[in-house]
Amino acid sequence: MSAGLALGGAGAAPLARRGFSPRVERGALWLLGYGGGFAFIEPSPWEIAFFLVLFVLGVGGLRLHRSTLPMVALLALFNIGGVFSLAPFLHDGDSVMFIAVSIYLMATSVLFAAMMLDRGAERFAALRSGLTWGAATASTAGILGYFDVAGLGAIFTVNDRASGTFKDPNVLGTFVIFPLVLLAQDMLTGRGRFWRDAALFSLILVGGVFLSFSRGAWGHAGASLLVVTGLTFLFAATPRIRMRILGLVALAPVVGVGALGAALSIEPVREMFEVRASLNQYYDVGPTGRFGNHARALPTLFAMPNGYGPRQFRYHWPEDPHNVYINAFASYGWLGGVAYLALTLATIAVGFATVAMRSSLQPLAIAVWSTLFVQMLQGFLIDTDHWRHYYLLLGLIWGLFALARIEAAARARVPAGGPYGGHPS
């Protein structure tokens, strides 16, 4: 197929190019990544750029490898469950929009999986550049807003927390983590221009995460950085890279403690940190807190095949579930809930397999998986099913899995010592 989606097998050849030039593709993907840093207006620049990318890449031809079909099938079942649960609430505009957004986000995952199969490194480099600049812009806005520079506090803060160009500080803090992990990986391996790119951008992104005062984002960032460091060390191509990683790991606590001490020397920052650093917030504990609501809601969901309906949990309990797995059953019914759990487990298996497989983009697989796996764990504490960057990571890891399978099949047809000899990392 020259346009639309084609299905390829294990050794499928790249599609013949009849579409836009690579430069146009890269430009569209950069705009998409940069647009991801703006979510305080609807539709956001991400939505507009997504349809531009879909058009640009679709004209040239997109293909799905058969190994990505489980992701597509489970996402489809997840949303079919949502449509069934929506039936009694078609009069509710919020419920209808909720399911429409879910279906749209499913489409974004499919696109990201498909785009990796042809010139994946080139395409992702453009997307990554846009993501990094978008995250840096959002973080800079959050930092300026938090310190009320030029009166920006009223625009870029929520409840005395940096929100930047997002509506929610929690989403700002989580969005910047993937670009931050990629930059950290560059520093670990010595890729890129260290001082101008990785170090400077990392400082800005860390500022955005910290001043969001999101406990989930703090934990997510710390755990993702630990995972990417461990996996990069494990799969490092040379002893020199391993020694570099060990040196940076030894240096990191010193830099981290110094930076934290400097930040806490600012009284407003210290006061908010003392409040947010507590593991037990008043809205978490007790029978009517977040975790109490989880325990009380679970038994009722076992008796409700269609759940409460999209966006209806809040009318039965004091607030939204703040647990993506409970929300899957509450908003998408048994079919959607089971499909979401199956998708999560399948992605965990695929993610570990992709990281362990030799491929030209193994370092990228490590960065994607280090972020996505921790975000899946974060889903026990917050609703992540409508986070654009979750579906970005989901599509990327399945696309990278397909690419690794294609390259493995190609290596199997090449004699030993052929062009795939050596470690690609």
Please say whether the beta carbons of 187 and 244 come within 8 A: no
Residue 423 has pLDDT above 50, yes or no: no
Please say whether the beta carbons of 113 and 399 come within 8 A: yes
Which pLDDT score is estimated for 3?
A: 42
Residue 391 has pLDDT above 80, yes or no: yes
Q: Spell 158-178 as b/e; 16+ CB within 10 A means b.
A: beebbbbbbebbbbbbbbbbb
The pair of three-digit structure tokens given for residue 349, joined into one six-digit string:
């298996």
Which pLDDT score is estimated for 266?
A: 92
Positive or negative, the CA dihedral 406, 20, 397, 181 is: positive
pLDDT band (50, 70, 90) for residue 21: confident
Q: Each residue of 336-389: pLDDT tens digit?
A: 999 999 999 999 999 999 999 988 899 999 999 999 999 999 999 888 889 999
Please say whether the beta carbons of 362 and 424 come within 8 A: yes
pLDDT band (50, 70, 90) for residue 421: very low
Q: Where in 82-220 does DSSP place strands (E)?
A: 157-158, 161-162
Distance from the Cα of residue 37 to its chain's centroid: 12
Which pLDDT score is estimated for 142?
A: 97
The pair of three-digit structure tokens given for residue 309, joined into one six-digit string:
């309906």
Positive or negative, the CA dihedral 356, 357, 360, 365 is: negative
Looking at the whole model, is its pTM more than 0.85? yes
Rounded CA gap, 202 and 183, in Å?
Answer: 7
pLDDT band (50, 70, 90) for residue 282: low
Q: Each residue of 74-85: pLDDT tens digit?
A: 999 999 999 999
Integer CA distances (angstroms), 38 to 208, 286, 303, 391, in order: 14, 36, 40, 16
Q: What is the mean pLDDT of the chain?
A: 88
Rounded CA gap, 276 and 343, in Å?
Answer: 32
pLDDT band (50, 70, 90) for residue 126: very high
The pair of three-digit structure tokens given for residue 73, joined into one six-digit string:
């099938």
